[in-house]
Structure 1
Amino acid sequence: MAKFTFNLPDIGEGIAEAEIVAWHVKPGDRVEEDQQLADMMTDKATVEMESPVAGTVLEVAGEVGDIVAIGSMLVVIDTDSDAPPEPGTRAQVDAATAASEPPRAADTAPAAADAQVEARLDAENPDAGDADAAIAAGNKAAPAGTSASPVRPDAQAAPPPAEKADGARPLASPAVRKRAADLGIDLREVRPAADGRIRHADLDQFLAYSSGGFAPAGAARADEQVKVIGLRKRIAQNMAAAKRAIPHFTYVEEIDVTELEQLRAQLNAGRGERPKLTLLPLLITAVCKVLPAFPMINARYDDEAGIVTRHGSVHLGMATQTGGGLMVPVIRDAQARNIYQLAREIARLADAARNGSITSEELSGSTLTITSLGPLGGVATTPVINRPEVAIIGPNRIVERPMFVRDAAGIERVEKRKLMNLSISCDHRVVDGHDAASFVQALKKLIETPALLLVP
């Protein structure tokens, strides 16, 4: 028996440990080279660990939620064993599925094998190209230009299954379909990978975060214990540390965004090939124009060293809700981007956060954060500061209300206006109440005169 010990490699500068958030193998499973072993979480980013060798898994480092130090044992593999996988393991399911299909020369080439699986799925569902596009649109995950693979002649002869009445058939390999069926998972409820195809890792994530379906109104449900792991654990730790260490105060002001919304509509009407604008790029532009006069807002506080760093560049954190929890991608040098460049970067980072392709670098280094719940924003919010930053801005829901408006002649009349409350939470150790109020009033003046946003 030749034992190979796979130690957890260095997966990020300055990272000393990582948390196990999902296992894809267990002792007794047969693994191939480059097969996914586990998902490890560090600094809000999940890294997939792949096997460098083929063999049989003898030992794993721990359970989901355990912490593994860099350089410590993650998996021990017997590289000489050709023993069949244990009954009921996922490896056995894959092996049984492969045995039931005609042998293919591509079995030694993973990329070609993947292409043939997609080809067979395309043959089973002639509308797979449209289905893939629909899945990509629904999840905002699949890259543009995704298309179906060429269909093999023998696959074209296979009779297509009956079309499901409630939509296109999700893309997945036979092994994934069998495992999902065994677990009672409807593949249409699973978020696919970036290429639109569902894999074992996607099933694992679904199981980790699924609430178990819906119960009829009034029906009693069994108590459920959910282990706090991965991103949810990091969020809990960061929020608790922020509230313990930072004396928060929140200031809220009402802003008339009628003219700003009119400007946005005009820009979108003549945008051509440029991205469609939401309120967020315009608001970020306003924030970046006002910040130079209020450097204490765009700052980070190292309370252990007793140093406040006031940043010249605006690296803006953008709170983004994902299937696994809240992430904060960072728009680098937001002050140097125009509204359309901001719109593209916002969309890119949001998609990367939601489909799991976001990097550690894109989730770190923010100097100020904006958090918005969009139409769910409510009347006012008291957002929690993203430590070690000293402020966080929270735009709330836009509502239409009657308002007294004074014209140039000084005559007042009642008009229907679009109003939005803007919240800001600050670290009172660094930012005084007068500074926060002055910053928001300057921001209000700029937002209510939106033509100034387009002036260099």
Structure 2
Amino acid sequence: MGRFVFKLPDVGEGTAEAELVAWHVAVGDRVEEDQIVADIMTDKATVEITAPVSGKVLAIHGEPGQMIPVRGPLVEFEVEGAGNAADAEPTPAPVAAKPEPAPVAVEAPKAEAAPVSAPAAAGANYVFKLPDVGEGTAEAELVGWHVKVGDAVEEDQIVAEIMTDKATVELTSPVSGVVVALHGEAGQQLPVGGPLVSFKVEGKGNVAAAPAAAAAAPVAKAEPAPVAKPAAAPAPKAEAKPVPAMTGRQPGERALASPAVRNRARDLGIDLAFVPGSGPAGRIQHEDLDAFVARGGSLPATTVGTASSTYARAEGTTETKIIGLRRKIAEKMAESVRRIPHITYVEEIDMTAVEELRAHLNATKAKDQPKLNVLPFIARAIVVALRDQPTINSHYDDEAGVLTTHAPVHLGIAAQTPNGLMVPVVRHAEALDPYATALEIARVSGAAKDGSAKREELSGSTITITSLGTLGGVVHTPIINHPEVAIVGPNKIAERVVIKDGQMVVRKMMNLSSSFDHRIVDGHDAAVFVQRIKGLLEHPATLWMN
């Protein structure tokens, strides 16, 4: 019998530690592979952790509420075979989790008895199955791979990114070995418990190795010893694929590349159809992009030989699979429109007085105070207007038929980020002065853009502002952030000639576009709410009175 130390995997986009919420096993329990052993909480979601092996629990590390470091010891098992740690008495000290240098795979008799659930590719003797990382979710979307067939990986090395309904999660390898097969493509939905990566490891592994003859051509090349590079050499297609740098593929042939490579190529203005790939099956990698740019091919050719012409004809189409966060945004927008009958109301507001006050405050502000834009004033107008119509600051559960009206105003700020549209939240906007509001808007928006926003900073808004800034246009029809019942969308401020007191004058005008859930907010109430905001902004001295 051997000892296997199961270390906490990285399930939170590089999070250094996670909170232990609860145990599902106790010392002395017999557990099966993929059985849930613990619940942990990251910044984004509560995750169920499953056992990578079958065996008897020797020790559990940590108490509910304790912060556990990523890759620190979580559970120690007694398993058949050599295990992955020196045979010693279990101890709660972190030293017990220190693995031996030699990557020895775990013997899992249970998995051998039923290999059909995770078939191994030729030469593979360990199948890493997709763990449950989303509170019982039956499947998860594969966002991208961090390894390729033939790569030698170490234990705890990131191999793939998946997306659940709550978060994007980086999956780490439970063993050291050579990648023999990858089960799935980016954008594909994979079942929890289904095969994800097949490895060739030292020792017996957790499945019976499949005969080499039964494998498909792309996998057979990983049968040799753990060498990271031989993946591209044995594949005849990969040798036939390299073409001159400025020559496209065959008509209709789609270039293989990861989402990260496609995004980078898009940023560089490169058409992947013209880039030869050096990876498995001709997959384009970052090095291929670098080589392509170095050869002077940074601009895509619409037609070979005529790309420099101003009037060159463009041919062909580009297909982009919508995956990951962009797919989640699309689903949320579709759900909002499908479930909420929108009523949109637009009013023009004279922002001259606000702009004059803003300029004065910025000219006289203290050094530690932020420069004000127009959003803190609009935020304050919404807060004050909600005092008269608190129903608009609500969530509506249409399935239960329950309207929950919130006393605090948690203001969502729709923000464009490199990963797509997110809504960070300014909590208790009713308690903030204009400078504190400006600081908090900048803080949560910045966190959303750089990916450091915590889960609570991206959820729980009660009403949302969506602003396109200087690109605000004349009018738009904002989509309500479900389950809220209202959204306010300021457009750009522009000088216009208006009639005031019988005279033509130039004023700084802004259209305010707002949408309401017509099941909860009648048209009259929507108009009253917007007119109240208009009155407050046109007389900004009243914003902080009473």
AA aligned to 2:141 is E
1:451 aligns with 2:545: no
Distance 1:438 1:392 in 2: 15
Number of the residue aligned with 2:290: 181
1:306 aligns with 2:428: no
Greater shift, 42-51 or 383-392, is seen at 42-51
Q: 1:339-370, CA deviations, whole angstroms, 9 ceiling, x for partnerless residues?
A: 22222222222222222333333222221111
1:423 to 513, 523, 530: 513
Q: CA deviation at 1:257?
A: 0.6
Number of the residue aligned with 2:473: 378
**Count of matched residue positions in the alignment of Structure 1 and Structure 2:** 344
Looking at secondary structure, tell me which structure has more helix per residue: 1
Return closer, same or farther for 1:274/1:28 CA change in 2, 3 Å cut-off.
same
Q: CA deviation at 1:245?
A: 1.7
Number of the residue aligned with 2:326: 232
Alpha-carbon contact 2:475-2:511 (below 8 Å) kept: yes
Distance 1:369 1:287 in 2: 10
Return closer, same or farther for 1:453/1:229 CA change in 2, 3 Å cut-off.
same
2:170 to 48, 58, 70: 48
Return closer, same or farther for 1:304/1:9 CA change in 2, 3 Å cut-off.
same
Q: CA deviation at 1:443?
A: 0.7
Q: CA deviation at 1:248?
A: 1.0
Alpha-carbon contact 1:300-1:309 (below 8 Å) kept: yes
Q: 1:270-296, CA deviations, whole angstroms, 9 ceiling, x for partnerless residues?
A: 222222211112211211121121122
Alpha-carbon contact 2:150-2:230 (below 8 Å) kept: no
Number of the residue aligned with 1:281: 376
Query: Which secondary structure state, in structure 2, belongs to the residue aligned with residue 446 of structure 1?
Result: helix
Return closer, same or farther for 1:312/1:5 CA change in 2, 3 Å cut-off.
farther
Return closer, same or farther for 1:67/1:283 CA change in 2, 3 Å cut-off.
same
| Structure 2 residues without counterparts, runs of 5 or longer | 1-103, 106-124, 204-224, 233-284
AA aligned to 2:442 is A
Question: Where do residues 41-190 of structure 1 align in structure 2 (5 Å cutoff)?
Answer: 41-43=163-165, 45-69=167-191, 73-80=195-202, 83-87=226-230, 178=287, 180-182=289-291, 184=293
Alpha-carbon contact 1:44-1:360 (below 8 Å) kept: no
Q: CA deviation at 1:68?
A: 3.6
Distance 1:229 1:31 in 2: 26
Distance 1:39 1:404 in 2: 58
Q: CA deviation at 1:382?
A: 0.8
Distance 1:48 1:31 in 2: 15
AA aligned to 2:528 is S
Alpha-carbon contact 1:43-1:360 (below 8 Å) kept: no
Return closer, same or farther for 1:17/1:185 CA change in 2, 3 Å cut-off.
farther
AA aligned to 2:494 is V
Query: Which secondary structure state, in structure 2, belongs to the residue aligned with residue 19 of structure 1?
Result: strand
Question: Where do residues 187-206 of structure 1 align in structure 2 (5 Å cutoff)?
Answer: none
Number of the residue aligned with 1:363: 458
TM-score normalised by length of structure 2:
0.57
Distance 1:17 1:453 in 2: 49
AA aligned to 1:453 is L
Greater shift, 419-428 or 177-186, is seen at 177-186
Number of the residue aligned with 1:25: 147
Distance 1:185 1:63 in 2: 29
Q: CA deviation at 1:402?
A: 1.9
Number of the residue aligned with 1:338: 433
Alpha-carbon contact 1:45-1:358 (below 8 Å) kept: no
Alpha-carbon contact 2:145-2:186 (below 8 Å) kept: yes
Return closer, same or farther for 1:85/1:325 CA change in 2, 3 Å cut-off.
same
Distance 1:10 1:277 in 2: 46
From the CA coordinates, give the structure whose radius of gyration is larger. Answer: 2
Alpha-carbon contact 1:6-1:76 (below 8 Å) kept: yes
Return closer, same or farther for 1:19/1:447 CA change in 2, 3 Å cut-off.
same
Q: 1:256-281, CA deviations, whole angstroms, 9 ceiling, x for partnerless residues?
A: 11110111111112222222211112
Distance 2:418 2:173 in 1: 27
AA aligned to 1:399 is A
Query: Which secondary structure state, in structure 2, belongs to the residue aligned with residue 358 of structure 1?
Result: coil
Return closer, same or farther for 1:5/1:350 CA change in 2, 3 Å cut-off.
farther
Q: CA deviation at 1:88?
A: 5.9
Query: Which secondary structure state, in structure 2, belongs to the residue aligned with residue 56 of structure 1?
Result: strand
Q: Which has the higher contact order (CA 8 A, sep 6+)?
A: 1
TM-score normalised by length of structure 1:
0.68
Number of the residue aligned with 2:489: 394
Distance 1:179 1:251 in 2: 51
Distance 1:79 1:340 in 2: 59
AA aligned to 1:83 is P
Distance 1:12 1:441 in 2: 44
Q: 1:5-53, CA deviations, whole angstroms, 9 ceiling, x for partnerless residues?
A: 5454555667664322121112321223443322222346433333354
AA aligned to 1:84 is V
Alpha-carbon contact 2:372-2:435 (below 8 Å) kept: yes
Distance 1:288 1:61 in 2: 51
Return closer, same or farther for 1:299/1:308 CA change in 2, 3 Å cut-off.
same
AA aligned to 1:57 is V
AA aligned to 2:535 is K
Query: Which secondary structure state, in structure 2, belongs to the residue aligned with residue 392 of structure 1?
Result: strand
Alpha-carbon contact 1:7-1:72 (below 8 Å) kept: yes
1:268 aligns with 2:268: no
Question: Where do residues 200-215 of structure 1 align in structure 2 (5 Å cutoff)?
Answer: none
Q: 1:292-337, CA deviations, whole angstroms, 9 ceiling, x for partnerless residues?
A: 2112211111111111111112222211112332122222222222
1:327 to 422, 425, 434: 422
User: RMSD of the alignment, in Å?
Assistant: 3.1
Distance 1:177 1:260 in 2: 49
Number of the residue aligned with 1:97: none
Greater shift, 17-26 or 306-315, is seen at 17-26
Alpha-carbon contact 1:44-1:363 (below 8 Å) kept: no
2:338 to 235, 238, 244: 244
Number of the residue aligned with 1:257: 351
Percent identity for Structure 1 against Structure 2:
52
